[in-house]
Amino acid sequence: MEPRAQLAFLTRNAAEVVPEAELLDKLERSERDARPLRVKLGLDPTAPDVTLGWAVVLRKLREFQDLGHAAVLIVGDFTAQVGDPSGKSETRPRLEASVVRAHAERLLGQFWKILDRDRTEVRYNTEWLASMGMGDVLSLTSSSTVARMLERDDFAKRFAENKPISITEFLYPLLQARDSVAVRADVELGGTDQKFNLLLGRELQRAAGQVPQVAFTTPLLVGLDGVNKMSQSLGNYVGIEEPPEEMFGKLMSVPDELIVPYLRMCTPLPDEEVGAIQAGLADGSRHPNQEKRRMAREVVAVYQGPDAAADAEAAFDRVFKRHEVPEEVPEVAFPAELVGEGGVWLPRLLALLGMATSNGDARRLMLSGAVRLDGEQVRDPLQEFEPEELSGRVLQVGRRHYVRLAPNR
């Protein structure tokens, strides 16, 4: 693919490319010199799962990879212990090295669902950051100013609100930028919340005598709540290794306004087809429920295959359209705390099984009609059951949480 066509393909769903003219120049030089671009993506292993949000930028790296460029994946095992302040309203806690290592091991296996393992250069930034001495740190900090750091929206907001900003947090963007120098990146990818960090990488590379990288940002995927960025800490996420039925059910719960963004950012559907769906939803010629189903099928198929996506949709219909119990329901033991107590108070049972956060929460769930026994609503929070009445029955809370109470023996 010639350079201008590559540029159009790569930037069709980008948020911002700074500067775009330099990317075209790099693509032209790459073709002329037969030297693939080194395209860097750094991800801190601060959580154990790759979400659809992370997958957006990973899929962009795969696009560069498929065009013949070199994918350089930085596992931020050092920076994860510092903590990325991007988008944070307060200082985040530091992670223990053992936790970071455990997350990194789990994440690497998931990355290969998206990236070509044989064509990916994996680097850990402890390689060059852990050995830095005080002189190196002072040299690094001298490359920027407090005023420059306060240009960041999150820092500026916290400063205006008199919220603490640690010196460690000021170091984070510099450490991430140091990664770009270490791997001699031509392009760095990141979400829009990473723009400041990516641009700082350009400055450090220029100071090191390198040709500065292009900062290439992708949109942030809004989570299932329809409000916040998809995040494991907020619980509004879909993991790419979740069971197909769970993925499909979660995706069917997103607000209608996210159908098109999810199609565009999470699936390989052509832009023209997504545009037609968007127009149909806008003029009423397409039904949101049908297009949400299409979106959920397409997303599940990317990571689990089309057959699994079809089976997940069928399972969804069994549960939500025909109110049938899923084919596979986990069996749980009757809580030992309730054995020998006589009548079983259902709110306490729900709390002990972890299906409610407390007895009070369980009562609220029952009153709202969210609790069922073998498909029948149980609304009376004062009702008690004999243990024998519950033996072997399916207890359901909400739309997706089922357990079968193990028969008493």
The CATH code of the domain that includes 133 is 3.40.50.620
Domain that holds residue 376: 331-405
Q: How far apart are CA 409 and CA 372, in angstroms?
A: 24
Place of tokens 């510092």: 82
pLDDT of residue 327: 65
Is 224 within a domain?
no
**Which whole-number Å values give the CA distances from 392 to 125, 203, 222, in the listed order?**
52, 65, 40
Angle at 167 between CA 92 and CA 50, to 5 degrees: 35
What's the rounded mean pLDDT across residues 90-114?
Answer: 81
35 falls in which pLDDT band (50, 70, 90)?
A: very high
Instruction: Name 309's bridge partners.
Output: none
Q: For residue 19, is the peptide bond before it cis, meaning its omega torsion is within 30 degrees of 0?
A: yes
Q: Which residues contact 174 (CB under 8 A, 6 or more apart)?
A: 140, 141, 143, 144, 200, 204
Distance CA 323, CA 394 (A): 13
Residue identified by tokens 């960041």 is 152
In a shared domain, residues 348 and 292: no
Instruction: In whole angstroms, give the CA distance from residue 300 to residue 244.
Output: 6
CB 187 within 8 A of CB 57: no
Fill in the amino acid letter for 22.
Answer: E
How far is it, in rounded angstroms, from Cα 234 to Cα 223? 9
The 10s digit of each residue's pLDDT in 2-31 is 999 999 999 999 999 999 999 999 999 999
pTM of the full predicted structure?
Answer: 0.76
Tell whether 227 is covered by a domain. Answer: no
Integer Cα distance of 297 and 361 in angstroms: 33
Domain stops at, among 264, 288, 320 = 320
Percent over 90 (pLDDT), the chain: 55
Write down the pLDDT at residue 131: 94
Answer yes or no: is 325 within a domain.
no
Residue 174 placed within a domain: yes
| Number of domains present in the structure of the chain | 3
pLDDT reported for residue 320: 66
Q: Do 183 and 261 fall into the same domain? A: no
In a domain, 225, yes or no: no
Looking at the domain assignment, is residue 196 inside a domain? yes
pLDDT at site 14: 95
Are 60 and 188 part of one and the same domain?
Answer: yes
Q: Report residue 342's pLDDT band, with 50, 70 and 90 as the boundaries.
A: low
Give the model confidence (pLDDT) of 160-201 as tens digits. 888 888 888 888 899 999 999 999 999 999 999 999 999 999
In a domain, 236, yes or no: no
Q: Which of 306, 305, 303, 315 is nearest to 252 (CA)?
A: 315
Q: Is residue 235 part of a domain?
A: no
CATH classification of the domain holding 276:
1.10.240.10
